[in-house]
Amino acid sequence: MMSLRFLPLFILYFISFLSNAIVAKEDKNNAEAIRSTKRNTLNLNVHDNRRPRDDHVIDNAKQDEAVRNMVKWSIEQGGYIHPYVEIRRWDPSDPSSYFGAFVNGPVKKDELLIKIPGSIEIQIDDFFRMGKLPYSDVVCELAWTLKREYELGEDSKFAPYIEYIKTQSKYQIPAMWTDVGKSLITKVQGDLSMMDFDLEDTPGEHMHNWIYEYFGGELCLLDADNEEEMEEWYVAMATQRGYDYCLIPIYDMLNHSNERVNSITRPSIYNRDGFGVYALEDLNAGDEILYSYYDCPDCKGCPTCGTSLEYWGTPEMIRDFGFVEPYPHRFYYDDMGPVYLRVDEHPDGLEISNEGGEWPEIEWIESQIARLKPMFERDIYPLRNVLPSHELETIVNYHGSLLDFFTAYQEVDAADSKDENHGESDTGRDEDLSDGGEGDAPHCRSR
């Protein structure tokens, strides 16, 4: 018979155990809720207690005003916006939703949607347009040019655009993230290689350390002659919003799609006098004007575009723009052959096609699954209240996209092996239709 003097202690232990079990179950349910939610629409209500930096907070009202002023200024400078096109937030009732260009009435193919006059673009000297300098030199010059205009403030002839830039987060891309976020995205990337600006194979740390590696000190950030130093943020902004040789107001608000590209520019965006954005197809009310940051045929006038993005993919999109793109995803792994794989959504699951190189060995795929599978509950979820929401969402989405890709590959490989054992020749992966050389579509370095 249990002594009564031990009963309170036993009850205390039991209550403690029960409480911990409930918390653990809630944590597991919350983790499953985050993990099972569709990658590109992550439910952040699960972690409303997240702790962002004070300077991560965006003033949405100020941002709205800056956009209105910038649009008005662009028209005053000779620009044009179609009567059925509006620059607004995706959800007008949600002041935190993203900006874009949307159609609110019928527009015919080839109609002019937006005209961008060259006078509103922040452009660098023609010397940097000749294709004789490394890409990093071009970005460096654009960053210093932005810095000069930024410091002029209201005295800059680009003041409305500068005011808009000031409303943007300084922490969009991994290079500007918290140390915790940088460490976690590096862990997710693991030993998966990336491509640098010169198409050299780089380790996972390149996701966030490229500013220091390519622009640190006298490479760019320090002007020893004038004893002047530039913040890393200017390089980040020149990469994130720049188009190699220029920053283009209004046009840099158009969003990316690999699936539906419904606009094209004429002439090239690199024309110093400006260009127009035209409908590539008939558009209807509610459509968003989109183009691909990968494939931009209007960029053919850029001397470096044919090589600088030849093997650009989803990881490089995160590095340069700070978001996980919607499907299709593309992955280039130089240390695997090399191989360039495209992953797309299909009614029956993910479809994987080979755009160049040999298919990866299944042993390598399985090693990536083993590395990534426990990572969410072990490494990511415990930091849900530590990471700023944008960093957490990006990491969760990227981890999910990698795990989904490798798992789908494993399942298809298993199905193929089963078919081969039964004498069937059909495969679940698209055949390699590429010789690994340059494709027909050029790649443009910037958004």
Query: Residue 95's domain is classified under what CATH number?
Result: 3.90.1410.10
Q: Check residue 18 and give its pLDDT.
A: 45
CA distance to 33, 246, 260, per residue, from 277 (Å): 41, 17, 16
With a CB cutoff of 8 Å and minimum separation 6, the contacts of 168 are 58, 237, 241
With CA atoms as reference, report the closest residue to 157 among 249, 60, 267.
249
With a CB cutoff of 8 Å and minimum separation 6, the contacts of 404 are 39, 343, 350
Domain count, the chain: 2
Question: Does 329 share its domain with 222?
Answer: yes
Question: Does 329 share its domain with 193?
Answer: yes
Please indicate, yes or no, if residue 438 is contained in any of the structural domains: no
Question: Does 140 share its domain with 30?
Answer: no
Question: Does 23 share its domain with 130?
Answer: no
**Rounded to the nearest 5°, which phi and psi values hold at 6?**
-90, -10
With H, G, I as helix, E, B as strand and everything else as coil, classify residue 67. Answer: helix
Question: Does 137 share its domain with 242?
Answer: yes
Residue 338, number of CB atoms within 10 A of its CB: 16
Question: Does 29 share its domain with 62?
Answer: no
Question: Does 290 share its domain with 404?
Answer: yes
Question: Does 204 share its domain with 232?
Answer: yes
Please indicate, yes or no, if residue 434 is contained in any of the structural domains: no
Please indicate, yes or no, if residue 445 is contained in any of the structural domains: no
Residue 73, number of CB atoms within 10 A of its CB: 19
Please indicate, yes or no, if residue 72 is contained in any of the structural domains: yes
CA distance to 114, 291, 323, per residue, from 87 (Å): 10, 15, 21
Question: Does 131 share its domain with 224?
Answer: yes
Sheet containing 112-117: give its strands across. Answer: 80-81, 112-117, 274-279, 263-266
Tokens representing residue 342 in the block: 């495209």
What distance in Å separates the CA atoms of residue 356 and residue 353, rounded to the nearest whole number? Answer: 9
Domain containing 30: what range? 7-35
Q: Check residue 303 and give its pLDDT.
A: 55
What distance in Å separates the CA atoms of residue 83 and residue 296, rounded to the nearest whole number? Answer: 25
Residue 211, number of CB atoms within 10 A of its CB: 22
Please indicate, yes or no, if residue 238 is contained in any of the structural domains: yes
Q: Check residue 9 and give its pLDDT.
A: 39
Question: Does 142 share its domain with 211?
Answer: yes
Question: Does 109 share its domain with 170?
Answer: yes
Mean pLDDT of each 10-residue bin along the chain, 447 residues long: 35 42 48 44 39 65 97 98 97 94 98 98 90 86 97 97 95 96 96 80 88 91 85 95 94 91 91 96 97 69 54 88 92 79 89 88 95 97 95 97 94 71 48 34 27
Quote the distance between the C-alpha of residue 402 and its chain's center.
Answer: 15
What distance in Å separates the CA atoms of residue 159 and residue 223, rounded to the nearest whole number? Answer: 25
Tokens representing residue 378 in the block: 């072990």
Angle at 299 between CA 293 and CA 302, to 5 degrees: 120
Question: Does 26 share its domain with 98?
Answer: no
Q: Check residue 76 and give its pLDDT.
A: 98
With CA atoms as reference, report the closest residue to 396 among 320, 323, 317.
323
The amino acid sitting at 168 is: Q
With CA atoms as reference, report the closest residue to 357 among 375, 334, 378, 374.
334
Please indicate, yes or no, if residue 248 is contained in any of the structural domains: yes
Please indicate, yes or no, if residue 378 is contained in any of the structural domains: yes
Please indicate, yes or no, if residue 76 is contained in any of the structural domains: yes
Q: Check residue 258 and give its pLDDT.
A: 81
With CA atoms as reference, report the closest residue to 180 among 394, 391, 401.
391
- In terms of C-beta density within 10 A (0-12 exposed, 13-18 middle, 19 or more buried), how is residue 317 classed? buried
Quote the distance between the C-alpha of residue 206 and its chain's center.
Answer: 15
Q: Measured in Å, how far apart are the chain's first and last C-alpha atoms?
A: 76
